[in-house]
Amino acid sequence: MARTTGGPAPSRPRPPRPRAEVYRAYWHLAAERQRIFEARIGAAQPPWSTDPILCRYRFCNAFRASDRVSQYLIRDVIYAPSGFTSPDRVLRTILFRLFSRPQTWRLIEERCGQVRIASFDPSTIGTVLDEAMAEGTTLYTSAFILCANRAYGHRRKHRNHLALLDAMLADHLPDRILEATSFENIYEYLLAYPLIGPFMAYQLAVDLNYGPDFDFSENDFTVPGPGALRGLAKVFNDLGDLSPSEAIQWLRERQETLADELDIPPPTLFGRPLQAIDCQNLLCELDKYARVKFPDLRSDRTRIKQVFKPVGPLPEPFYPPRWGIQPVNFQPSPAMPQAQRGPRVAA
């Protein structure tokens, strides 16, 4: 006689309910934006798309690692050919992403020497950035809205961020991060510090995972930022029983069925499918795209601020070598000479 158990069978989670037109627009945006990227690196002449919204306004790439700032980070900060140690790469990555502006990075290395733990001097760097600000130089990108409180007692934001890095070194954070056992573990280490909120901790974890010292799957963990949450609210009528993070993973899993479901070829980065971070970023871009395509889907943002202005040909892309999509003709940038000054050893 078969054994039975009491109580009702567990109910299956309610799936999310997409808005059909916006769901299609999300995948159209992903595929078409990647096609534009491929056309540009292939030196095709504009116009690169027949989509008037994509032709007029600026949108990030479908794959986060292809954007100009991420490309600079990967090529010139993480994989710069100067014999950096693993802890050096952690420091370099965090410092760069806090500003997310290649011009600021170049200013620091030109005036203070290559960024290394042994010679990291927040006072010297702070003075250089103070002088740059006095001359009207913009230090930060507008892509990330960073916490700007005086967590370390300084009036200027960059001074507090440099003090944050000094505190991280005093805590031996680079060594501890290098012992992380999961992608989420890196995030948790970073989130413990002032001035680092959940979204920034996630972005930094993704950046660190580009380097040669980590090899976690980008699909293990994701954190939606404010733009992604707005995008989710537009793509879906409701999320069912899924959390926002789970809804992003739900979208990622659907790319395998795009060709059959929507007749949209799934975008790939030279064969690499969209990862959770890419799907998260694409929700931010969908939020912008929908302000024009679906103006009735209102949020606290009503227009797209930046128009698309190409700034010359794209350089040959460079990706983490372990991804197996390394362009064969890549030539690394020449090493920056070390400034002549005394070293400082972190505590």
Task: Tell me the pLDDT of the chain (347 aa) as tens digits.
Answer: 455 556 666 678 899 999 999 999 999 999 999 999 999 988 888 899 999 999 999 999 999 999 999 999 999 999 998 899 999 999 999 999 999 999 999 999 999 999 999 999 999 999 999 999 999 999 998 766 666 678 899 999 999 999 999 999 999 999 999 999 999 999 999 999 999 999 999 999 999 999 999 999 999 999 999 999 999 999 999 999 999 999 999 999 999 899 899 999 999 999 999 999 999 999 999 999 999 999 999 776 677 777 888 777 788 899 999 999 865 444 433 333 333 222 222 22
> What residues does each domain of the chain span?
24-67+221-321, 80-210
Collapsing DSSP to helix, strand or coil, 273 comes out as strand
Closest-CA residue to 208 (of 170, 255, 245, 168): 168
In degrees, rounded to 5, the angle at the alpha carbon of residue 142 between the alpha carbons of residues 316 and 178 is: 65
DSSP state letter for 238:
E
DSSP state letter for 236:
E
Dihedral angle computed from the Cα positions of residues 162, 164, 169 and 170, in that order, rounded to the nearest 10 degrees:
120
Helical spans, DSSP H, in 84-197: 86-99, 102-112, 122-134, 157-170, 173-177, 183-191
